[in-house]
Structure 1
Amino acid sequence: MAETRWLDDREMRAWNGFLAASALVNRRLDQQLKDDSGLSHPQYEILVRLAAAPDHELRMTELANGLINSKSGLTYQVTQMEKAGLVRRRSCPSDVRGVFAVLTEAGLARLEAAAPGHVTTVREILVDVLTPEQLDALAAGLGEVSRRLREQGA
């Protein structure tokens, strides 16, 4: 078995910074969305993905993969959103196991109402805090982490 490569001070600062920032950013975004539009952050992201999709619909498996969410977690969120009239489900005519999530007019309206406050908060707590160079480094570094994890099937 290979010897453990412990984190040095620089690596530990990066790791702890990532943990704290990701938790705090997610908490703030979730609170802002709940306060302003009654949506959770995952629900907002579902609406964003559906709004950008052709015909405002995606297969549930594709939606789960795009959101990096478990199928059961996505099913729960879509069920809650369906009860609120923001999405509906429809069966796939070519695959009896396939189910599509479809954005409703009410869902699109909720997204359009929620988006300005959400973007303002994203700018306030992340984008406008960093220099352009820091944004580039963050995008490159986290993009590489995401790419590798997706390749590994994580």
Structure 2
Amino acid sequence: MSDERPALDPAELSAYFSLIEVSSLLKHTVEQQLREAGELSYVQFQLLARLGEAPEGSQRMTDLADGVVYSRSGLTYQAQVLEQRGLVTRAPGRDDERSVTVTITDAGRDVLAAVFPGHIAVLRELLLAPLTPDDVAELDRVLGLVRDHMRSNPPRSAAPRRRRSSS
């Protein structure tokens, strides 16, 4: 039995290249808008946005890393930069002092409030403008299926940590 996998058919290849191109074009413009409006990188924006939506404005660092699919060490650096700007605070976790909890500050909420109008405008102009409401619902459905499939077997950096047994 051969280990060769069949080539992608033209529709599969086209869908893949379209997804990559759309993602790159959108991310480029979003990153530019975030830098201009709030001096934020895309990852920093994701962190602030997730914290802004979280109960009490806080999350454990490992949960943030899993949510944004970013390395834990890279996320630690990004959180440090945000902390130096006064946009978040970091503290030992309540239940586990080995964990770190990140909390958005009022200044962090102010930066989010400053970047969101332009962020939404970019999304509407680039991603949503050519779509009908039914198209948006279908895009959400299809991308949700793919996301859920990929999350079921995430890359190592995005996989939730397993607790070490004390054997």
* TMscore range, shorter length: over 0.9
Q: What is the CA RMSD across the aligned residues, in angstroms?
A: 1.3
Task: Measure how far apart 1:130 and its partner are.
Answer: 1.7
Identity %: 38
Partner of 1:152: 153
Distance 1:30 1:24 in 2: 10
Higher helix share: 1
Partner of 1:8: 9
Task: Measure how far apart 1:125 and its partner are.
Answer: 0.8
For these two proteins, the number of residue pairs brought into alignment is 154
Distance 1:22 1:150 in 2: 18
Partner of 1:30: 31
Alpha-carbon deviations, 1:10-65, whole Å to 9, x = none?
Answer: 11111110111101111110001101221112111111111111111100011111
Partner of 2:58: 57
| Structure 2: segments with no counterpart, 5+ residues | 156-167
Partner of 1:46: 47
Runs of 4+ with >2 A deviation: 131-134
Distance 1:14 1:153 in 2: 21
Counterpart check, 1:92 vs 2:93? yes
| Structure 1: segments with no counterpart, 5+ residues | none
TM-score by length of structure 2 reads 0.87
TM-score by length of structure 1 reads 0.93
Report the AA paired with residue 51 of structure 2: L
Report the AA paired with residue 85 of structure 1: G
Counterpart check, 1:79 vs 2:80? yes
Distance 1:148 1:96 in 2: 33
Report the AA paired with residue 110 of structure 2: A
